Chains A and B, each alone.
Chain A
């Protein structure tokens, strides 16, 4: 735990045209913490992560990086990471490391991809591509890392391994912000959970606090209790229920 947030967002709104996707969200990311954003499909998780990573300009509100000076302040894993074809896994990660002036290190080992170093990126499975994306997000040791569904498409073992990597990063002082639908791993890994519903934060706290507050047994139960839409249909922001 640190003395204060290293990334702080205040009163964030974001609209795409007339559709308000993020509504008055404030969040701080602490160094050494894993902050998980959970919510149904279309609830605004990816938009919120892109706002926090500085890739979108909010319609209202502000995002401020308050961490230490760094060559790369925020690392980012997009929801569907894709890499330039024709290059090997090693060449790809070496390219990103060169951008921050680093020599190729052990990032591939860290995510379990060392044996695939000489494989071309277009020959990787979806899960392996995501692992390469996780490695890319950590290039340059950014104080904040934003991961959009890092476990998506991975087998249970690799998903758990990815969350262990996330936990290791946080143990080293990195502030990690991630979105995930794997509520069991979120409960096990996250220091703080934000439940997002229709662009607004409807629950916020540590897993233990939320479970106690909602008087339930798990984060999955918190999720069910906190969201207002049906679990059987996609809740489309901008369309009245």
Chain B
């Protein structure tokens, strides 16, 4: 009971911290400008939902980790540096409640920062796209807001996964500088590092071609990309499927999220 209460109280404080920060407001404005800018300048908003998703996919692979990094990397490290975590240890606050509260509060900020501009883009497409764009996809081959809704959901899922990893790195850091370094390395690993590792594995032949799809799922960026390809972009084309395993990719994102949160709780408990 006290654990749930603690998680709720800490969630409220995180939310208030984020809402009062001008830095996060600036981050939101910047991210919104980038997302809406790419969608409109690239002409995707006039072409439809799926073309816009194509335009946004690659930039979001980079932007999503940057947003999660910006919002999460100091969250626990600052509490450690201020010795607040030590004080909280004298309260009925289980480690899971602390991590859960911090994660939930920061997750609201991450989701808001990404979802609002993406929804604005969705509205822009609805207002400006051609007559082929329909409200609901009833069969394959139709551009649809449902597909764009899937794209937004997958983007947010990817963001929440990266946030969990960033939180774990923040919990392991002994200072704000170390947190920054760990977060940069971690985000780099998520954005390109694990993909390169898989490519290296293919080149060195310790990843066989028949296990490549599964191996790619282990990389969060590949898992996100694969899910977008299989459930958003290639829905219209029967022949263009099987490049990624949706189940393995979804499992990968969920696993990375749980691993991140567990590692954060372990990091906090070792303080």
The residue on B at minimum CB distance from A99 is B91
CB neighbors of B among A133-159 (8 A): 136, 139-140, 142
- Contact residues of B: prevailing secondary structure: helix
Contacting residue for B9 out of A53, A55, A87, A98, CB 8 A: A98
- A contact residues around B6 at 8 Å (CB): 99
Tell me if B91 and A86 are in contact (CB < 8 A). Answer: no
A140 touches B86 (CB 8 A): no
How many Å lie between the Cα of A82 and that of B9 in the bound state?
A: 19
**A188 proximal to B (CB < 8 A):** no
Is the C-beta of A163 less than 8 angstroms from some C-beta in chain B?
A: no
A75 at the binding interface (Cβ < 8 Å):
yes
Distance in Å: Cβ of A97 to nearest Cβ of chain B: 9
CB contacts (< 8 Å) of B21 on chain A: these are: 86
Q: Is the CB of A83 within 8 A of B92?
A: no
Q: How far is the CA of A132 from the CA of B98 in the complex (A)?
A: 22
CA of A80 to CA of B87, assembled, Å: 11
A84 B17 Cβ-Cβ under 8 A? yes
- Check if B89 sits within 8 Å of A99, measured CB to CB: no
User: Which of the residues A50, A80, A87, A96 comes within 8 Å of B91, measured between beta carbons?
Assistant: A96
Q: How far is the CB of B78 from chain A (nearest CB, A)?
A: 8
Report chain B residues within 8 Å CB of A87: 13, 16-17
A83-B82, A84-B82, A86-B21 known; A71 vs B2 contact (CB < 8 Å)? yes
Contact among A55, A82, A98, A100 with B89 in the assembled complex (CB-CB below 8 Å): A55
Query: A72 near B16 (CB under 8 angstroms)?
Result: no
**Quick one: given A84-B13, A84-B17, A84-B82, are A99 and B87 in contact (CB under 8 Å)?**
no
| CA–CA, A140 and B87, complex, Å | 13
CB proximity to B under 8 Å, residues A63-104 = 71-76, 78, 80-84, 86-87, 91, 95-96, 98-101
- Chain B residue at minimum C-beta to C-beta distance from A97: B9
Contact call B20/A95, Cβ cutoff below 8 A: no
Nearest CB of A to B105, in Å: 12
B90 and A54 form a contact (CB under 8 A): yes
Chain B residue with Cβ nearest A80: B83
B47 within 8 A of A: no
Count contacts between A and B, CB distance < 8 Å.
Answer: 63
Number of B interface residues in the complex (CB < 8 A): 22
Complex alpha-carbon distance, A81 and B89, angstroms: 14
Q: Are A78 and B92 also in contact (CB < 8 A) when A71-B2, A84-B13 are?
A: no
Interface status of B200 (Cβ within 8 A of chain A): no
Closest to A74 in B: B90
Q: At the interface, yes or no: B240 with Cβ under 8 Å from chain A?
A: no
Chain A stretch 186-215: residues in CB contact (< 8 A) with chain B: none
With A80-B83, A82-B83 in contact, is A100–B90 under 8 Å at CB?
A: no
**Contact flag A76-B13 (CB < 8 Å), given A86-B20, A100-B92:** no
Return A48 CB to nearest CB of chain B, in Å.
15
> Nearest chain-B residue to A146 (Cβ)?
B90
**Is B92 in contact with A84, judged by CB distance below 8 angstroms?**
no
Q: Which of B84, B88, B92 contacts A71 (CB 8 A)?
A: B92
> Quick check: is B140 within 8 A (CB to CB) of the other chain?
no
Measured between alpha carbons, how far is A180 from B80 in the docked complex, in Å?
25
**A83 adjacent to B84 (CB under 8 Å):** yes
Judge whether A75 and B90 touch: CB under 8 Å: yes
Chain B nearest Cβ from A88, distance in angstroms: 11
Q: Does B177 contact A (CB under 8 A)?
A: no
Q: Tell me, in angstroms, the Cα distance from A76 to B85 when the chains sit together.
A: 12
Can you give 13 contacting A-B residue pairs, CB < 8 Å?
A: A54-B90, A72-B90, A76-B87, A82-B83, A84-B17, A84-B78, A84-B84, A86-B16, A87-B13, A95-B13, A99-B93, A101-B5, A142-B90
Residues in chain A within 8 A of chain B (CB atoms):
50, 53-55, 71-76, 78, 80-84, 86-87, 91, 95-96, 98-101, 136, 139-140, 142
Which positions in B face A, CB cutoff 8 Å? 2, 5-6, 9, 13, 16-17, 20-21, 78-79, 82-84, 86-93
8 A-B pairs besides A78-B86, A84-B17, A84-B79 with CB distance below 8 A are: A53-B90, A72-B91, A75-B90, A82-B82, A83-B84, A95-B13, A98-B5, A99-B88
